[in-house]
Amino acid sequence: DTAVSQTPKYLVTQMGNDKSIKCEQNLGHDTMYWYKQDSKKFLKIMFSYNNKELIINETVPNRFSPKSPDKAHLNLHINSLELGDSAVYFCASSLEGRRNYGYTFGSGTRLTVV
Amino acid sequence: ILNVEQSPQSLHVQEGDSTNFTCSFPSSNFYALHWYRWETAKSPEALFVMTLNGDEKKKGRISATLNTKEGYSYLYIKGSQPEDSATYLCAFWMDSSYKLIFGSGTRLLVRP
């Protein structure tokens, strides 16, 4: 039933490891996003894909690589994790070009790098 | 750099009080303004999406207005209830961009 689901919900890992966070939506949306909630609680856009094509790539270290195998999935892979990567990462989806359409968010993945 | 500012940062009110908060955004290249409600340990949920200057939206006791010429939106809650306690986020969508820029939110706590 869950519209936008992220896994895992919690992720604790050591510095230097490589990890992935997965996101799936069953709403038929064509655009998906990754947001990072920073230390001041702002939601900052990282990436966006529309129909498997990258359309937003903010200034994010290239250790972060998104992958969209199809328009219902957007995964986030992080190489060589650093302490500063600890944050909550949110996936969201919407319909591209529909400006009167809100985003649907996943429940977040809390990443802790130790 | 696009700034979306919300005020106040936090607000404590008594049950039954009415309250309002402000979202300020760039007044040029407006495309849409979103309001989200974000309860602790949950994900943000869309409340309103506003696209036209002068728009007013209402959902139960919550309403919002939009002034794109001066770059602000107000969110009003009439007769606040404890279940209204949440962070209220606004987000600005600039024309020709593909992204929502979020404000830092107004954290509302309604005391019984």
Mean per-residue pLDDT over chain A, rounded: 91
Query: B-chain residues within 8 Å CB-CB of A48?
Result: 98-99
Q: Are the beta carbons of B49 and A102 separated by less than 8 Å? A: yes
Tens digits of residue pLDDT in A64-100: 999 999 989 999 999 999 999 999 999 999 987 667 7
Tens digits of residue pLDDT in B39-62: 988 899 999 999 999 999 999 999
- If you average pLDDT over residues A41-50, what whole number do you get? 88
- If you average pLDDT over residues B28-32, what whole number do you get? 89
**Cβ-nearest to B31 among A99, A107, A108:** A99
- If you average pLDDT over residues A20-41, what whole number do you get? 91
**Residue B108 φ then ψ, to 5°:** -105, 130
Q: What is the DSSP letter of B84?
A: G
Nearest to B84 by CA among B99, B53, B57, B106: B106
Identify residue A49 by its one-letter amino acid code: Y
Query: A-chain residues within 8 Å CB-CB of B29?
Result: none
Query: B-chain residues within 8 Å CB-CB of A105?
Result: 43-45
Q: Please check the confidence at residue B97 and state whether its pLDDT lies above 80.
A: no
Q: Please check the confidence at residue A1 and state whether its pLDDT lies above 70.
A: no
Q: Please check the confidence at residue A6 and state whether its pLDDT lies above 80.
A: yes
Strands (E), chain A: 4-7, 10-13, 19-25, 31-37, 43-50, 53-57, 64-70, 73-78, 87-94, 104-105, 109-113
- If you average pLDDT over residues A2-30, what whole number do you get? 95
Please, which residues 51-90 of chain A have a Cβ atom closer than 8 Å to chain B? 55-56, 90
Q: What is the pLDDT of residue B1?
A: 60
Q: Percentage of chain B surpassing pLDDT 90?
A: 81
Map tokens 């300020």 to a residue.
Answer: B24
When mean pLDDT is compared across A28-32, A54-58, A80-84, A106-110, the lowest value belongs to A54-58
Q: What is the pLDDT of residue A96?
A: 73
How far off is chain B from A85, nearest CA to CA, in Å? 20
Kindly state the tokens that stand for B15: 């049950």
Contact call for residues B27 and B12 (beta carbons, < 8 A)? no
Query: What's the alpha-carbon Rg for chain B, to the nearest Å?
Result: 13
